[in-house]
Structures are given as C-alpha cells and as structure tokens.
Amino acid sequence: MHNRSRTRPVAAVVKLALASALVLPVLAGCGGDSGGTAASGSPPSRAVAASPSTASPSAASLSAAGTPAFVGTVEVLSAEARQRMTGVSWRPGCPVGLDDLRLLRLSYVDFDGTARVGELVVHRAIADPVVRVFGRLYAARFPIRSMQTIEAYGGSDDASMAADNTSAFNCRNVPNTTHWSNHAYGRAIDVNTVENPYLPGKQIMPSAGKEYLDRRNVRPGMIVAGDVVVTAFKAEGFAWGGAWKTGVDYQHFEKP
C-alpha cells in the first residue's frame, strides 16, 4: 500500500499451460504509444499459446487431474473501463493518463484451492512482467484471497485492504502525505493485504493484520523473505516493501 515517493492500442494476450514444477515461458511484450486513444471497438491482439485451450473459466476446481491453464491477458482500457474508473480510481490531474494503463486478467488460486480469474490495472510498462509474476504464483499455487480493481471498493484503499484484496492502480497519495503513491502511476501492487499488513509508525493497516505480525509463524497467503512471491517479483525488478527498514509494507511491491 505504501510507496517511496517519488495509439495505437495493442493488446497482448497470453494463455500458458503450466506444469506444477515448471516456470512460465516469457510473455511477448505489449506495444502501444503513449498519448493515443483507445479504438471504439475491440483492440487488435496478439496471442502466444502453449496449449490449444481456448478459454479458462472464471472458477475451475483444481484436482489431481491437473490445474487449469494459466490465463494472463493485457488489454488497453475499453470505453467502459475508462468510464468506470473516472472519478473513482482516476481523475484529470492524475500523474498517469488512461492511455498508459492496461487491464490485466490473471489466473490465481484462492484460499479454497480453486482456480479463478481476477483483474488488475497497471502501467503498460510493467504489464508483461506482472503477468509473468502471477503466472509463477499460479504455478506454485500460492493462495490469493481476492483480485479486483479498486473500483469494486469505491476507490477506497482502506476498504480494499480490509477485504484482503490484491490490487494495483489507484490515483492517490501515500497516506498522511501530499505526494503521489506509486499506485497512482500504476507501478505498485499490494498482495493479500490482511496476511501482509502495512506498518507505518505504530499503525497496523488493515487492523486485521495484527494477527499476522509474527512473521516467523508463516501461514497461507503470507509473504516472507525468499519465498516464491518475493522471488518472482524480484526476478522482474520489483522492490518489496517488506524489506524496508521504516514503514515496513509486507503487501507492497513496486517497480520504478
């Protein structure tokens, strides 16, 4: 949640079959020039598929028969998405324009072991790396509680954190400051916010995170040094807030 201060429309679509012990292949880059506008219809797309499967259900039971193929899509924001975001997570004057943001649809495994597809909005520059990260987390079956864009919570970071929601873009300041969070640039992601609280000063955010202050007692959904989450993000050049000396932020990953 915290942050250290600071078209050609093209959509890249990836459907990658994962073996439980294998790492995802590299996703092809997402193109597009900044400053353009989205086309009125569906944007052109490119696809890289490692399996012939055509679509992944929004919820599919994991079983001994195998894990549903990982789905990761990168899309320019549609007119509907722009309308939904405007006045909620984005407004004129934000440090990044809607043309530079991308909507990701990503497979994840929930705490019941069910494969689902959630959504994140991120800056186009980190879209492909984020897909690769969550592909690795899906392969490892790292549990994620929820993955909805911040509009589901009326743009409230507090409400999203309280719901243990994994989210990314939100045009807001760092709490208790007047400077932009990296979330306002679409360059930060918060993962499992209850299991991985933000600790500014003597605060615990969200408050339910107090049950997870003992980081030696590792439970499902927690992020600790050297684990699959930290390793996957680090491999893509992200910094982890859990390693900061002040304002420790276990849920937070950001990329300049």
Give the number of C-alpha atoms closer than 13 A to the C-alpha of residue 85, restricted to the C-beta side.
29
61-65, 81-85, 98-102, 227-231: which range is least confident on average? 61-65
Helices (H), 37-140: 79-85, 127-139
* Closest-CA residue to 129 (of 12, 243, 249): 12
What whole-number distance in Å separates Cα of residue 206 and Cα of residue 142?
Answer: 21
- The pTM (predicted TM-score) of the whole model is 0.78
Residue type, 240: W
Instruction: Give the span between the Cα atoms of 214 and 204, in whole angstroms.
Output: 13
Residues 192 and 145 sit within 8 Å (Cβ to Cβ): yes
253 phi and psi angles, rounded to 5 deg: -130, 140
Tell me how many helices (H) and strands (E) the chain has.
4, 13
pLDDT digits (tens, 9 = 90+) for 163-201: 999 999 999 998 888 899 999 999 999 999 999 999 999
Residue 229 banded pLDDT, cuts 50, 70, 90 = very high
Q: Is the pLDDT of residue 254 over 50?
A: yes
Q: Which residue is it, tokens 């944007």?
A: 43
pLDDT tens-digit readout, 3-59: 443 333 334 444 444 433 333 333 333 333 333 333 334 453 333 222 333 233 344
Q: Please list the residues that pair with 239 across neighbouring strands.
A: 254
The arithmetic mean of pLDDT across residues 95-107, rounded, is 98
Give tens-digit pLDDT for 64-77. 457 799 999 999 99
CB atoms within 10 A of CB 113: 11
Task: Using the structure block, give the residue that is written with the tokens 């050049």.
Answer: 237
Chain-centroid distance of CA 219 in Å reads 21
What is the share, in percent, of the chain residues with pLDDT greater than 90? 71
